[in-house]
Amino acid sequence: MSTLEGKQTRAFQTEVRQLLDLMIHSLYSNKEIFLRELISNASDAADKLRFEAIANDGLYEGDAEVAIRITFDKEANTLTISDNGIGMSAEEVEANIGTIARSGTREFLQSLQADQAKDANLIGQFGVGFYSAFIVADRVTLLTRRAGLSSGEAVRWESAGDGVYTLENIDKPARGTDVILHLKAEEKDFLDDWRLRSTVRKFSDHVPWPILMLQSKGFEPEEEEAGEETKPESDDTPQWDTVNKASALWTRAKSEITEEEYNAFYKHVGHDFEEPLAHIHARLEGKYEYTVLLYVPKRAPYDLWDRDRKHGVKLYVRRVFIMEGAEDLMPRYLRFVRGVVDSTDLPLNVSREILQKNPAVDAIKKGMTGKIFSLLEDLAKNDAEKYQTFWDTFGVVLKEGVIEDFAHRERVAKLLRFSSTHADSKVQDVSLEAYVSRMREKQKAIYFVNGESFEAARHHPHLEVFRKKGIEVLLLSDRVDEWLVTHLHEFDGKPLQSVAKGGLDLGELEDEADKQELEKQQGEFKDLLERVQKGLGEQVKEVRITNRLTDSPSCLVSGEHDLSASMERILREAGQKTPDTKRTLELNPSHPLVGRLKGETNDQRFDDLSHVLFAQALLSEGGQLEDPAEFVRRLNGLLLG
Ligand code: ADP
Ligand code: MG
């Protein structure tokens, strides 16, 4: 254990400095959330102590009554949040609230800069809650000692939020942390017993540790059940009230829990300020027994795409907090789920690593996954509006389930929603079931098209014949869709078929007369096709006549087993090698430009026009030209010629 030499002054990193500056000067709404954040940290510290004490109960130092205390001093103008949780060593203080920015700092700064209301409420999810102390304080002092260290190894940290902080060793007999806020002159209103109690009840009622406040003279607790009163031992012992409910919500019977309580608890475990979209509370019994209280949020957390994201489902064993957020508890594609699971079967006194290998954890993960599916299926069936909100926010994540979770592929497939040519709207609200129910009489396949964007997919030249014949096509434009369709081969016995791959085979949907006409044209255009192919050389595999186009003169088609063009682009952008696949150029025999090409006698103009038709086909599906300058030169030649 290193000790600090004297009092040291250190500087915060620029980002932390900017964050503190914002806290101090520009957060106007919901200022009182600083209390929620500091209480949440105290509660986490209490959780950690209880967990570590399972293996080493010496950490309790003879005092196993863990609690959070809030006191204030009107004369000194201070508000103090104390806990006798795990505390911090000097290194931990430095690492957790010292120089370096934590991972959410930048994201929080950005979200605040975008937020007109400058709402402090946002802070919880970014993992920088400690600094919210500076919303109401112009100086913050933190005294802390890690449980198990000697009283002389405690630390005093202090900062006025001006870019630097000081650190020094102090003596602190009680383990844990005191956060002392020296309130700004205009925030003195917080030094009020009633206001503090009501703020605690509003934001921290479901913190599972007692939050204590000194009984003020003549104060009667408002509600009986709000807390147990401690009987006075003698007149001068301070008497504390428990201000919050301090019970684990999930252990109570469903029938006794109100919607408000469920929502309030979500805000605590989900680090969110908005209400959740839906929840499920269930007790599972069987080989293993456990209780789950799981929520689907309304909004995506900032770190949804971050591999080191912080939050997830919290695992408790007989009400003792063990770990949070691990992929051992929820599949990756359900990473938006928040809440708790409390097991009776897992051993308490093992490391997290061993716990992760326990078969019960696997069983719990399966059980919870099933519960989330039931919840989503229920929403999809009974509350389309809510399900749409869910899909718009987390649909792209759920789609990963098709790829990752073979066992649940069908269940995920039923929950999928797409845009389609049916409504031609960007809103993804078409289920595969709905698509199948609308399939034309002799239609065998579920058709889709991939595009770089919704607009690109919607205007894809390959759709022309489908629109003409009134056949619905799914419009896919999320990146993950490329992988999705390589894993989802069929639904309800119907194959999924790209409209941009292979020869157009509409099966029995095809008109016999159309087919014969096309064959006739293949013959008529034979010379032309050979000439175009010769001119384009290596760029195409084949040139042929098509009936899939009505408005466009040309399009490109991939082979049945080739990578799609957009998939190739994605892979190339990711720096991966792609096979050198050539594609087929198809020409629309009834388009005037193709007619002109047929009658063109000037060799230069023929060459320019066939290159331009090839380039157009590439551009209109969202592709990029290898040599744009050449295209411009040829086009200009034609325009002037
Ligand atoms: P978060 O709680 O999301 O990690 P915070 O900014 O609220 O982010 O806290 C930063 C870190 O500081 C915590 O993760 C914890 O390690 C440490 N910390 C803050 N308050 C306490 C406390 N009362 N006791 C022990 N550690 C604390
Ligand atoms: Mg915190």
Q: What is the pLDDT of residues 397-412, one digit of tens each?
A: 999 999 999 999 999 9
Q: From CA 245, how far away is CA 261, in angstroms rounded? A: 11
Instruction: Write out the two tokens for 174.
Output: 């009680």
Contacts of 121 (CB under 8 A, 6+ apart): 29, 30, 33, 273
Ligand 1: does its nearest atom lie under 6 Å from the Cβ of 303? no
> What is residue 304's DSSP assignment?
T
Ligand sitting nearest the alpha carbon of 303: 1
Strand partners, 283: 291
Least confidently predicted of 144-153, 475-484, 546-555, 565-574: 565-574
Question: Which helix or strand (DSSP H or E) is residue 307 part of?
Answer: none
pTM for this prediction: 0.84
Residue 218: pLDDT above 70? Answer: no
Q: Is 137 exposed, middle or buried (0-12, 13-18, 19+ CB in 10 A)?
A: buried
Summarised one tens digit per residue, pLDDT across range 304-325 is 888 777 788 999 988 888 888 7
In the sheet that 446-450 helps form, which strands lie side by side, from edge to edge? 419-420, 473-476, 446-450, 494-498, 490-491
Mean pLDDT of 84-105: 89
pLDDT tens digit sequence for 411-443: 999 999 999 999 989 999 999 999 999 999 889
Average pLDDT, the chain: 89
pLDDT of amino acid 5: 85
Q: For residues 587-595, give the mean pLDDT.
A: 94
> Best mutation site among 82, 96, 178 for ligand 1, i.e. most ligand atoms within 8 A of its Cβ?
96
Average pLDDT score over residue span 593-604 = 93
Place of tokens 């419009």: 475
Alpha-carbon span 177 to 154, nearest angstrom: 10
Q: Does 232 have pLDDT greater than 80?
A: no
Q: Residue 508: what pLDDT?
A: 65
CA of 92 to the centre of ligand 2 (A): 14
CB neighbourhood size of 192 (10 A): 13
Which ligand 1 atom is at minimum distance from the Cα of 85? 24
Q: Read off the amino acid at residue 391.
A: W
Q: How many angstroms does the Cα of residue 43 sit away from the middle of ligand 1?
A: 10
Whether 342 and 319 have beta carbons less than 8 Å apart is answered as yes
- How long a stretch of residues is the chain? 641
pLDDT at position 264 = 92
Percent of the residues in the chain that have a pLDDT greater than 90, as a whole number: 63
Identify the pLDDT of residue 117: 67
Rounded Cα distance between 586 and 617, Å, is 9
Measured between alpha carbons, how far is 389 from 379 in angstroms, rounded to an integer?
Answer: 10
Which residue has 């006075």 as its token pair? 232
Which ligand has the minimum distance to the alpha carbon of residue 126?
Answer: 1
> What confidence tier does 520 reach under pLDDT thresholds 50, 70, 90?
confident
Q: What is the pLDDT of residue 26?
A: 80
Nearest-CA residue for atom 21 of ligand 1: 41
Is residue 233 over pLDDT 70? no
Structural domains in the chain, sorted by start: 8-246 (3.30.565.10), 250-382 (3.30.230.80), 522-640 (1.20.120.790)
Name the residue among 562, 426, 557, 448 with its Cα closest to residue 497. 448
Closest by CA to 212, choosing from 175, 244, 237, is 244
Q: Is the pLDDT of residue 220 over 70?
A: no
Q: What is the structure's pLDDT at 507?
A: 65
Would you state the pLDDT for residue 2?
58
Is the beta carbon of 129 within 6 A of some atom in ligand 1?
yes
pLDDT for position 159: 97
- Ligand lying closest to the C-alpha of residue 142: 1
CA dihedral 405, 410, 412, 413 (to 10 degrees): 130
How large is the average pLDDT for residues 560-586? 79
Answer yes or no: is pLDDT of 491 > 90. yes
Between CA 559 and CA 582 the distance in angstroms is 9
How far is 634 from 619, CA to CA, in rounded Å?
15
Q: Which residues of 46-84 are buried (b: 16+ CB within 10 A; e: fewer)?
A: bbbbbbebeeeeebbeeeeebbbbbbbeeeebbbbbbbb
33 lines ligand 1 (CB under 6 A): no
pLDDT number for residue 259: 96
Question: Looking at residue 234, what is its pLDDT?
Answer: 59
CA of 46 relative to ligand 2 center, distance in Å? 13
Mean pLDDT of 584-596: 93
Q: Which of 20, 34, 41 best tests ligand 1's pocket when mutated (most atoms within 8 Å of CB)?
A: 41
Find the mean pLDDT for residues 7-32: 88
DSSP 206-264: T-SS-EEEEPPTT---SSGGG-PBPPPSSTTS--EEE-S--S-GGGS-GGG--HHHHHH
- pLDDT over 60 at 228, yes or no: no
Give the pLDDT confidence of 40-76 residue by residue, as tens digits. Answer: 999 999 999 999 998 899 999 999 999 999 999 999 9
Q: What pLDDT does 324 receive? A: 84
Of the listed ranges 1-15, 177-191, 228-242, the least confidently predicted one is: 228-242
Average the pLDDT over 444-465 and give the result.
91
Q: From the CA of 599, how far away is ligand 2's center (Å)? A: 75
User: Mean pLDDT across the stretch 609-620?
Assistant: 93
How far is residue 446's CA from residue 295's CA, in Å, rounded to a whole number? 33
pLDDT of residue 175: 97
Q: Are 451 and 622 in contact (CB under 8 A)?
A: yes
> Rounded distance, CA 287 to CA 358, Å?
14
For 68, how many CA atoms within 13 A lie in the half-sphere containing its CB?
27
Task: Calculate what percentage of the chain has a pLDDT beyond 70.
Answer: 95
Task: Write down the pLDDT at residue 216.
Answer: 77
41 lines ligand 1 (CB under 6 A): yes
Segments in 118-220 forming alpha helices (H): 133-136, 193-204
- CB atoms under 10 Å from CB of 103, counted, come to 15
Question: What is d(CA 631, CA 267) in angstroms, rounded to the nearest whole number?
Answer: 57
